[in-house]
Structure 1
């Protein structure tokens, strides 16, 4: 199984598989500090909301190790956690993991005990994500009839999680039980996570996959080539609005127009109980160079403004189902919505 993160306690480093280079080159970044983990997250070497949360947890371990010999270790730890938590605003798993790590040392007096507590908590977060992904795959695959072709967006597989994947976890589980005919993967501009990562992961598993440009999706739906759309999520509001990779909203609109189920797969840690609506989700805007580099240009032509939102919001009314490890709800139908509430 692919793993994007490897914790090496004896060496005191988190190894991060640099996903910017895949599949052409396999390179591991050795992160020996919380700031190095923050740089890997901000620079997209590690990506995918669950994987970002796991990386942040191990970043917290590196932070506590770095200040364990200081008298004011708690203040030093909090400063590093604040800096780490600010690197990417949309994926809720980042802040969720950091809060978990802070809580793990809240009642600890000795720094050496705090180190042990952080290491144990980070290991729990990573193991729980893998278990959640497998459960999501099991539950979500039940929504798919036999012989389906699924369209997916961005990368939601082992590379974006602790293993198995969320949307790709459902796809993998459906393939294992013989229900899946094949997968259509969008390129996912501008970082091409679908072209570089999703198509590669599926091909490695022997799952039939076809790659398309993002703008071809609606035409394939109209041609009857798509039976379901399955995506992941970076943040979900209490009413079921979903923040995900830019282009997800357009796919949801097209899916509704063609009466195709639009399914979201995410661990329960991606639900933000503080947010009632998707309008309250902060959308990350990234550098213009990401777009123009794909065109072979170092910058925009004179007089051209560039807008590069990394995510969009799919309203709950377009979401056929949200699948978490705790169960399934249907925001479009208003069914099972207790799954998204704080008490769920």
Structure 2
């Protein structure tokens, strides 16, 4: 077997790998599909987790078929199609522990049905099932924005997470504006039902007000947007949102900032806006899985590239380009 592992800064390799034996509480999953995440690319640039030079196994967006079940594991059986919830595994699979889902056989320590391993709905292919993890991140961000049907929402960034947010918000009945500098990504957001803005060609604040309307409050014209989500991580976003924000608008930061950003607190006094954050998916996995049969086609359309495990290093390069959405790696015999 093999495992995708970070050795140092920008040094990631597909290494020979011997899977540890499973214990009585463990489950082994024969991997069928695993998506490449922006976090994977960040871990590679960092040279490992937590510091450069730490050998780090990659892959946390996985789905596959149960091949071994420990004697003390309940409710799971050999041959069962499952999605892995890495946040609910002791080793945080693919994010610093000894296991990563970019391997043929994944050891899920202390595997539990409905917790770290969830059944794939009938008729859902493994690649769509593997989209559960990023879609759960996206859904949590939308949930944190507190938008409902009819809410006006602006989403900065149309990478895989941002596109997932667009899908969930449009599905909820929101009026969505998606913002990105890459036209390829904006086209995908538009296909999901969003109106789009490319700040390289259009004045961001002016166009948001044109789409969502504007109102005067405390002597300033403010956009009619109810909530904003930052899934891009550009330092200018916070200032733009504060300048636009109407009374009691909400701003959710989901992007990872490695350096401090300036907070223009003065204009916030009159808007009484809220700034908060969103990370992971504390409770969203079951909701995503329940929605997969209904949203199957939209989810599948977010997969821009599918490559075999042998070509995972090429997949990492593709995932770093604006031309990609979700790059999905499939394993031999994955089928549908």
TM normalised by structure 2 equals 0.39
Please report the TM-score for the alignment, with normalisation by the length of structure 1. Answer: 0.38
1 or 2, which has the higher helix percentage?
1
| Structure with larger RCO (C-alpha < 8 A, sep 6+) | 2
Question: Whose radius of gyration is greater, 1 or 2?
Answer: 2
- Larger strand proportion, structure 1 or 2? 2
